């Protein structure tokens, strides 16, 4: 049995100007040290969930909501401790820098935690090497590209050694290269640090790379499982207001031309293999 | 309306030590009623270029002609820009940051009223575009600040469309929207073009460029590297790579097939083109409307 790093029970949240709750009795477990992708169309409740998971908003007071993160049950007094284990990368790379240079920005979080200057120096070097941004150490963050900014943001978070990193639409404003760089970094984080990565996204390609996917719709968790399990049914995905991964889009079209692409093909490499075999039989 | 740039340069902080060319000696012509994409990296001059088209920035050198009616150059003054700006509508990046009115309806009506529509006309136009951008009429009396990010974006776009600009300039209009919403909004712009308007779109998403544009302008460091059809541009994998530009996803995928010995006469740039080739090669039977 895998252990859960986050457990959410009966989570209900209603915005003050709305009659209907945005999250309705949501239950959710996130597996420890997994890369979990949270998918859902605009308005499904993804962003609201992030705000509740980070204590930026409180569940409806009349609900039986429980949030447990890394073994600590969330309560007003505990959020300070819980947040020590959490790091968030936001959508807009321009909204999260405080330092005048890349290294200052990373040092900020560490200095706030009263970490020893030698240790700060060590960690800055380590995390910048890790995200491949060492040569930009003395640069102004505003001079970097979107993908570079998000890598610095991730480095700043890794430096404080969190248990959970939440990427809140962190790749949605990046170009394809920037996006791939971040996906690469996430894979490497998992290999090197004992950390759980939660990426809240509407990029279905990103989700295909995750270990586990949670699909939200109308404020509830409607499906959870591996990419192969969750993304197999293209009609259901469309119903959920989600796009199909590229390989599946193509497969759906090709089936209409009597090319019988297997339904469990999710990524492009598998599809390339499939055509290669088909071609060599001709 | 045709848009013509003649030897246009734009110099930032001219005459100071920080002087820098934002655009250098740009020449091109955009056909009336076309859909033109402008691509290039951050800092390539894309925004500088489109801001000249409705004279938010005036060229330091050269002339810009918008149709037969407007000439923008160094001598252009603030006077007379209002008719230009009615004809040339601009949707900025993250336009939702510019919402300001008490209600959605008032926000959308602001542009048309400002350009001399009667109250009745402005309201009719606002309701029409509210519907076109996919928002329910019941939102009209809400405060725009109560809406979700995606809805706010749609309100802001409706606010530009409601003045019926002949030329529509779009700066990454769908960045951050979910893919389904992105498609809806882009189809709306494509339809606006089909109705006889000129559309200029800045994007770094080559899939959008391949699927929606007729022409592409490629900028790098303030220079216009080339102007061509998306089909011609995306054939040239090596040239694109040498300028760190991507191909559309479809074309990249087709390249991988080429590497495995599957031949293409020309590289597909849209899903429909790719499907057509693969169906011909591997398909059992073609669907009727192929």
CATH at residue A180 = 3.40.50.300
Q: Which residue is associated with the tokens 């480095």?
A: A155
| pLDDT (mean) for B36-56 | 91
Residues B151 and B268 in one domain: no
Tally of structural domains, chain B: 2
pLDDT in tens, A96-119: 788 889 999 999 989 988 999 999
Q: Provide the H-helix boundaries in A25-71.
A: 46-53
State the pairing for strand pair B70-72/B223-228. Answer: unpaired
- Interface mutation vs chain A, best among B179, B203, B240, B273, most A CBs within 10 Å: B179
Average pLDDT along chain A: 90
How far is it, in rounded angstroms, from Cα A270 to Cα A116? 49
Say if residues A221 and A212 touch (Cβ distance below 8 Å): no
Q: Above 80 in pLDDT, residue A79?
A: yes
* Domain membership flag for residue A282: no
B1: closest CA of chain A, how far (Å): 31
Among the listed ranges A121-125, A186-190, A212-216, B107-111, which one has the minimum average pLDDT value? A186-190
Are both B172 and B265 inside the same structural domain? no
Cross-strand pairs, B91? B170
Using the predicted structure, report yes or no on whether residue B290 has a pLDDT greater than 60: no
Tokens representing B100 are: 């300001």
Which has more pLDDT, A68 or B80? Answer: A68
Decide if pLDDT at B287 tops 50: no
Q: How much is the average pLDDT of B34-55?
A: 92
Of chain A, the end-to-end C-alpha distance in Å amounts to 47
- From the centroid of its chain, how far is CA A208? 12
For residue B120, how far is the Cα from the chain centroid? 30
Q: Which of A14-18, A192-196, B207-211 has the highest mean pLDDT?
A: B207-211
* pTM score of the predicted model: 0.84
What's the CA gap between A179 and B206, in Å, rounded? Answer: 14
DSSP-H helix ranges across chain A: 46-53, 79-84, 102-112, 117-130, 146-159, 176-192, 204-208, 227-230, 234-239, 246-255, 268-280
How many C-beta atoms surround the C-beta of residue B67 within 10 A?
Answer: 16
Q: What is the mean pLDDT of residues A12-35?
A: 91
What local confidence, expressed as pLDDT, does residue A211 receive?
A: 95
What number of C-beta contacts closer than 8 Å exist between A and B? 96
- Domain co-membership, B141 together with B199: yes
**How large is the average pLDDT for residues A215-226?**
95
With a pLDDT cut of 90, the percent of chain A lying above it is 57
Query: Is the pLDDT score of B132 beyond 80?
Result: yes
- Domain of residue A158, residue span: 4-227
Cβ distance B282 to A268 less than 8 Å, yes or no, reads no
CA angle, B236 as apex, B232 and B240 as ends, to 5°?
A: 115
With 50 as the cut, is the pLDDT of residue A165 above it?
A: yes
* Closest Cα in chain A to B172: A173
My answer on whether B122 and B65 are in the same domain is: yes
Statement: residue B285 has pLDDT above 70 = no
What is the predicted pLDDT for the residue at A1?
Answer: 58
pLDDT at A84 over 90: no
Tens of pLDDT, residue by residue over B171-195, are 999 887 888 889 999 999 999 999 9
Asked if residue B259 and residue B171 are part of one domain, the reply reads no
Contact at CB, A257 and B249, closer than 8 angstroms: no
- Give dist(CA B101, CA B159) in Å, integer: 11
Contact present, B88 and B166 (Cβ < 8 Å): yes
User: Is there a single domain that holds both residue B137 and residue B218?
Assistant: yes
If one counts the domains in chain A, the total is 1
Q: Is the pLDDT of residue B26 over 80?
A: yes
pLDDT tens, residue by residue, A168-202 = 988 887 777 778 888 988 998 988 888 999 999 98
| Statement to judge: residues B175 and B282 lie in one domain | no
> For A93-226, where are the alpha helices, taking DSSP H only?
102-112, 117-130, 146-159, 176-192, 204-208
A224 falls in which pLDDT band (50, 70, 90)? very high
- Using DSSP, state whether A58 is helix, strand or coil: coil
Residue A258 forms part of a structural domain: no
**B282 and B174 part of one domain:** no
Average pLDDT over residues B132-157: 91
ipTM: 0.79
Give mean pLDDT, residues B77-95: 89
Residue B288 has pLDDT above 50, yes or no: no
A238, pLDDT greater than 50: yes
Predicted local confidence at residue B289, as pLDDT: 44
Which residues share a beta bridge with A9?
A: A66
| Dihedral of alpha carbons B133, B134, B138, B143, sign | negative
- Does the residue A240 lie in any domain? no
**Residue of B179, B271, B286 with shortest CB distance to A257:** B286
Give the domain range for residue B72. Answer: 3-247
B230 and B182 co-located in one domain: yes
Q: Is A209 part of any domain?
A: yes
Burial of A134 (0-12, 13-18, 19+ CB in 10 A): middle
Q: Same structural domain for residues B27 and B154?
A: yes
Confidence of residue A66 (pLDDT cuts 50, 70, 90): very high
In this prediction, residue A249 has a pLDDT band, given cuts at 50, 70 and 90, of very high
Specify the DSSP class assigned to residue B269: -
User: Residue A90 falls within a domain, yes or no?
Assistant: yes
**Could you give the CA distance from residue A130 to residue A123 in angstroms, rounded to a whole number?**
10
The verdict on a CB contact (< 8 Å) between A175 and B204 is yes
Task: Point out the residue among A42, A256, A257 whose CB comes nearest to the CB of B150.
Answer: A42
| Short-list B243, B218, B241, CA closest to B228 | B218
Average the pLDDT over A28-49 and give the result. 91
For residue B281, give the chain A residue with the closest CA. Answer: A279
CATH of residue B208's domain is 3.40.50.300
Mean predicted lDDT score pLDDT of chain B: 92
In a domain, A245, yes or no: no
Residues on chain A touching B249 (C-beta within 8 angstroms): 176, 246
Cβ distance of B253 and A250 shorter than 8 Å: yes
Instruction: Evaluate whether residue A281 is within a structural domain.
Output: no
Is residue B72 located within the same domain as residue B188? Answer: yes
**A126 occurs within a structural domain:** yes
Q: Identify the residue with better confidence: B267 or A179.
A: B267
Identify the residue whose tokens are 């339809």.
B191
- Residue A155, φ and ψ in degrees, nearest 5: -60, -45
Chain A residues with CB under 8 Å of B268 CB are: none
Put simply, the answer to whether B283 touches A276 (Cβ < 8 Å) is no
Task: Say yes or no to pLDDT of B286 above 60.
Answer: no
Q: What is the pLDDT of residue A2?
A: 77
Same domain, B190 and B231: yes
State the pLDDT at residue B147. 86
CA distance B196 to B203: 22
Mutate to test the interface with A, among B43, B206, B270, B282 (most CBs of A within 10 A): B282
Percentage of residues in chain A having pLDDT higher than 70: 100
CA B32, CA A194: separation in Å to the nearest integer? Answer: 57
Q: Residue B197: in which H helix or E strand, if any?
A: none
């Amino acid at each position: 049995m895998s252990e859960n790093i986050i457990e959410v029970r009966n989570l209900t949240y209603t915005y003050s100007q709305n009659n209907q709750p945005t999250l309705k009795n949501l239950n959710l477990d996130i597996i420890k040290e997994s890369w979990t992708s949270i998918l859902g169309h605009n308005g499904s409740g993804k962003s609201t969930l992030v705000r509740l998971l980070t204590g930026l908003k409180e569940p409806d007071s009349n609900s039986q909501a429980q949030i447990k993160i890394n073994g600590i049950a969330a309560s007003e007094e505990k959020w300070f401790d819980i947040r020590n284990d959490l790091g968030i990368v936001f959508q807009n790379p321009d909204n999260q820098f405080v330092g005048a240079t890349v290294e200052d920005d990373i040092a900020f979080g560490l200095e706030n935690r009263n970490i020893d200057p030698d240790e700060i120096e060590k960690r800055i070097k380590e995390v910048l090497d890790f995200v491949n941004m060492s040569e930009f150490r003395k640069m102004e963050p505003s001079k970097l590209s979107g993908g570079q900014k998000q890598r610095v943001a991730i480095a700043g978070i890794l430096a404080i050694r969190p248990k959970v990193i939440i990427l809140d639409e962190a790749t949605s404003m990046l170009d394809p290269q920037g996006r791939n760089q971040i996906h690469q970094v996430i894979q490497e984080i998992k290999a090197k640090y004992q950390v759980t990565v939660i990426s809240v996204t509407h990029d279905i390609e990103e989700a295909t790379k995750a270990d586990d996917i949670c699909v939200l719709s109308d404020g509830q968790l409607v499906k959870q499982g591996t990419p192969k399990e969750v993304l197999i049914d293209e009609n259901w995905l469309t119903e959920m207001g989600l796009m199909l991964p590229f390989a599946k889009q193509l497969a759906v079209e090709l089936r209409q031309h009597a090319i019988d692409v297997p339904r469990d093909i999710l990524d492009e490499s598998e599809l390339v293999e499939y055509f290669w075999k088909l071609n060599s039989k001709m | 309306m045709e848009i013509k740039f003649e030897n246009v340069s734009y110099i930032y902080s001219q005459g100071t030590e920080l002087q820098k060319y934002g655009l250098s000696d740009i020449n091109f012509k955009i056909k009336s009623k076309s859909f033109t994409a402008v691509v290039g990296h951050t800092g390539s001059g894309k925004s500088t270029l489109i801001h000249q088209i409705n004279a938010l920035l005036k060229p330091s050198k050269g002339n810009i002609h918008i149709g037969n009616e407007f000439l923008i150059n160094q001598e252009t003054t603030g006077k007379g820009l209002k008719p230009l700006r009615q004809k040339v509508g601009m949707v900025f990046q993250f336009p939702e940051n510019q919402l300001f009115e008490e209600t959605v309806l008032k926000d959308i009506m602001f542009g048309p009223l400002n350009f001399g529509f009667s109250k009745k006309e402005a309201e009719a136009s606002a309701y029409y575009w509210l519907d076109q951008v996919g928002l329910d009429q019941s939102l009209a009396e809400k405060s725009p600040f109560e809406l979700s990010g995606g809805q706010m974006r749609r309100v802001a776009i409706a606010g530009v469309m409601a003045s019926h600009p002949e030329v529509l300039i779009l700066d990454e209009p769908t960045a951050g929207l979910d893919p389904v919403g992105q498609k809806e909004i882009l189809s709306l712009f494509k339809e606006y073009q089909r109705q006889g308007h000129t559309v200029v779109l800045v994007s770094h998403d080559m899939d959008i460029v391949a699927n929606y544009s007729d022409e592409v302008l490629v900028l790098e460091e303030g220079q216009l590297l080339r102007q061509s059809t998306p089909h011609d541009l995306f054939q040239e994998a090596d040239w694109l790579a040498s300028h760190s530009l991507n191909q559309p996803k479809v074309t990249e995928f087709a390249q991988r097939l080429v590497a495995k010995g599957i031949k293409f006469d020309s590289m597909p740039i849209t899903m429909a083109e790719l499907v057509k080739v693969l169906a011909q090669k591997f398909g059992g039977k073609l669907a009727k409307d192929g």
